[in-house]
Chains A and B, each alone.
Chain A
């Protein structure tokens, strides 16, 4: 930026290295829910993440997917982002009986998905990816009411998660800029 006149192009929220100023306001962390109290908004979000995690596990177990190391890496990375979503939603939330939204990363459990969604073992990768993209987009859309009806900080977290899911759908469908 030396010797160039004008306002820094990316200045409004600080430079990328300036983490102190590049974040959101200090009140951006959702307030903890009193221990032992249920929060339907978080419960819905956690159950949606659990469902997506199961779908990724089932898809990763497909022969057509596991044979493709690049695709496996891509889906594993997206799965990890869903695990991070669940963890963020769970922060400060200890309901009466804690839901278990995720199986441990790296241990796909295709049988767990049998109750809700289960691709045929012979499903080809393209079909499986389209189904995942649809599930991501549905999950993102389903959050709108809770985003509009919640306190600022949790609304912002859910909006970010919804945006992430729409990004996943774009990635799965192979869209390039």
Chain B
């Protein structure tokens, strides 16, 4: 599967995941989750457009996703949000590597955005966002 399709699959999952986790948050964290939900929905739509422009059929969202651990508290929600952003970062790093021009520029911007969101959820940074084998 090419990098755009993998990223789209991860954006579908992120939209689902933020929908699940947002209800466990309050205040500024809830707002951040809603903002992320909207952002990832918009990116999903942009990716669908990019993939269709290549003449490919965009991968569809799954009807449901298995959450990797029970999300019942704010701490669970923050942990899941962090993991969603980390996974998206890896997808966008792959897009940077495998594309050029405007698509690569988009990959850089979205990798950065995922890294910043992950830092805010996690409260700490990593040296190599999107490159899990290096961290």
Q: Does B associate with A? A: yes
- Inter-chain contacts of A161 with B (CB < 8 A): 128
Q: List 21 A-B contacts (CB under 8 A).
A: A4-B66, A5-B66, A6-B64, A11-B13, A23-B131, A24-B93, A24-B94, A28-B131, A84-B127, A84-B128, A88-B127, A148-B100, A155-B97, A156-B131, A159-B112, A160-B93, A163-B115, A170-B116, A170-B120, A175-B120, A177-B29
CA distance A174 to B128 in the complex (A): 20
A165 to chain B, nearest CB (A): 9
Q: Is the CB of B10 within 8 A of A8?
A: no
- Inter-chain contacts of A4 with B (CB < 8 A): 66-67
1/0 per residue B102-133: CB within 8 Å of A? 00110110011011111111011111111111
Given contacts A4-B66, A81-B126, A167-B118, contact A10 B13 (CB under 8 A): yes
**Range for the number of chain B residues in contact with chain A:** 35 or more
A144 to chain B, nearest CB (A): 7
Q: B65's contact among A6, A162, A170, by CB below 8 Å, is which?
A: A6
Of the candidate stretches A14-22, A101-109, A120-128, the one touching chain B is A14-22
A74 to chain B, nearest CB (A): 8
CA distance A148 to B104 in the complex (A): 7
Q: Is the CB of A12 within 8 A of B124?
A: no
Q: Is the CB of A9 within 8 A of B112?
A: no
